[in-house]
Structure 1
Amino acid sequence: MHARDHGKPARLLAAAFTLLATSSLFFCGALHAQTQKLEGAGAGIFTCTDARGRTLTADRPIAECSDREQRELNPSGSVRRKIEPTYTARELQEREDRAREAAVQAARITDERRRERALLVRYPNATTHDRERTEALAQVDVVSQAARKRIAELGEDRKKIDEEMEFYKQDPTKAPGAVRRKLEDNTQSVAVQNRFISEQEEEKKRVNARFDEERTRLKGLWTPQNGGNPR
């Protein structure tokens, strides 16, 4: 009588389970490979929402949605790519114009913000701004005062010239050429200085206008503590 091998059924069962697991892995791998192959082979689905709000699908780009974005889906339902609308030459130009204008506007805003920051650094409070306005106007006044002083000097010279011309008041054309030239030079110099004073008055207006414009902008940047309005 032969002894029974009690371990043989267990080994057979284990082998069966191993074979089943191997077969399952092979099947899943093959299925995944087939799916990847289908997705890479162009078997896509195109979908979009048309102008009437309908959801359309097709196996090729949809003509009804040429003016709007479409999506190409993989067989699994994931988005393979997005297709931009097809534009006419005029529409493309309009898009470029809008993009250019948006870029210009963004640059303008960025520059404005940079100027505001620089302005706030220069004038952290109302007192600083007032002081610099006063100093700027004082510099203009110094120039005007120098011109007025020069006019006073020319006035003294004119008195001497008039004394020389006294002898020729009946006929100024008989006065010596040197005296007549001094009189003309004096008259022209006074006119130049008066014109210079007028220009300085205009400069004061420009200075005040600049500081007024800055003050308006700074009021929105300053906090109540440093002279601005509450935000």
Structure 2
Amino acid sequence: MLLQTALTAGLVLATCLCGEAAAQSIYTCVDAKGRKITADRPIAECMDRTQQELTRSGRLRREVGPSLTAQERAAQEEKEKLAAEARAREVEDKRRDRALLLRYPARSVHDQERITALAQIDEVIKAASKRTVELAGQRKAINDEFEFYVKDPAKAPPELKRRLEENDSSAAVQKKFIADQEQEKKRVNLRFDEELVKLKQLWTLAGAAPASPASGAVGKAGPAKAAAKN
């Protein structure tokens, strides 16, 4: 008898629980006019504000946020996208800062790398300048040969004319190359200057005491294996 009673009570309890779970939710909110509204479905008057979804027993099941228009959703997605991009940039900036600090633990290391980089460019310019001098010598020899045809340049041999054109072309190439390398030196100096500003901040934050650089202009390091030929 006791067993039967217990089984019956269990079935009744299970039925009640299932009934509550299967029952529809209750939605409640306070609309724009201050009225409290209750319904068995999402409330149209409160689509622009938070609604509470309750069980039939009055227990809070969840809160339903305001519905967004297509334009509002697009704006929210764009805002979230920009925030994610900002977080990604912050992570990348920190990674770059760590790498910079590892590469240049002291001012002297940074200064030496600048010296080396500029010296390599100077070696390239030196080679191009040497080639320019050679071309100038060749041009003088060509001009000397043209002296024989001053009165009638049209009679100059095609080979001589070709050599003159090639010399002019090569000289122009070397001139442009040297100008480009001078611009490269400016870019290198600018890059190191910008890095130094950042490094000073990083060294301070890291509690480092960077070595003081030698005053004056940056000098040259050992020769680089670079040359320009044309």
Report percent identity of matched pairs: 48
Aligned residue number for residue 13 of structure 1: none
Of residues 211-220 and 71-80 in structure 1, the stretch that sits farther from structure 2 once superposed is 71-80
Aligned residue number for residue 92 of structure 1: 73
- Paired residues of 1:44 and 1:75 also in contact (CA < 8 A): yes
> Residue 185 in 1 paired to residue 166 in 2?
yes
Aligned residue number for residue 116 of structure 2: 135
* Secondary structure of residue in 2 paired with 1:170: coil
> Residue 220 in 1 paired to residue 198 in 2?
no
Aligned residue number for residue 135 of structure 2: 154
Amino acid at match of 1:210: R
Q: Which structure 2 residue ranges, 5 or more long, are not aligned?
A: 212-230
Aligned residue number for residue 6 of structure 1: none
Aligned residue number for residue 148 of structure 2: 167
Aligned residue number for residue 122 of structure 1: 103
Measure, in 2, the Cα distance between the counterparts of 1:126 and 1:31: 81
Q: 1:73: how far off?
A: 3.2
Q: 1:137: how far off?
A: 1.4
- Paired residues of 1:124 and 1:226 also in contact (CA < 8 A): no
Measure, in 2, the Cα distance between the counterparts of 1:193 and 1:147: 6
Amino acid at match of 2:60: V
- Paired residues of 1:47 and 1:55 also in contact (CA < 8 A): no
**Superposition pairs for residues 31-70 of structure 1, below 5 Å?**
36=17, 39-42=20-23, 44-48=25-29, 56=36, 58-60=38-40, 61-70=42-51
Q: Cα RMSD between the aligned structures?
A: 3.3
Q: 1:81: how far off?
A: 1.9
| Distance verdict in 2 for CA 1:186–1:108, change over 3 Å | same
Aligned residue number for residue 110 of structure 1: 91
Higher Rg of the two aligned structures: 1
Q: Write out per-residue CA displacement over residues 60-115 of structure 1, whole angstroms, 9 at most, x where no aligned residue.
A: 34444322222223466543122132122222222222222222222222222222
Q: 1:197: how far off?
A: 0.4
Q: Write out per-residue CA displacement over residues 46-70 of structure 1, whole angstroms, 9 at most, x where no aligned residue.
A: 4446567x69462434444322222
1:194 aligned residue (154, 157, 175): 175
Q: 1:194: how far off?
A: 0.6
Q: Which structure 1 residue ranges, 5 or more long, are not aligned?
A: 1-18
Please report the TM-score for the alignment, with normalisation by the length of structure 1.
0.71
Amino acid at match of 1:150: R
Q: 1:180: how far off?
A: 2.5
- Paired residues of 1:45 and 1:57 also in contact (CA < 8 A): no
* Secondary structure of residue in 2 paired with 1:81: strand
Q: 1:39: how far off?
A: 4.2
Please report the TM-score for the alignment, with normalisation by the length of structure 2.
0.72
Higher RCO (C-alpha 8 Å, min separation 6): 2
Aligned residue number for residue 220 of structure 2: none
- Paired residues of 2:105 and 2:210 also in contact (CA < 8 A): no
Amino acid at match of 1:160: A
Q: 1:176: how far off?
A: 2.3
- Paired residues of 2:20 and 2:55 also in contact (CA < 8 A): yes
Measure, in 1, the Cα distance between the counterparts of 2:209 and 2:29: 57
Measure, in 1, the Cα distance between the counterparts of 2:193 and 2:43: 60
Q: 1:198: how far off?
A: 0.6
- Paired residues of 2:29 and 2:38 also in contact (CA < 8 A): no
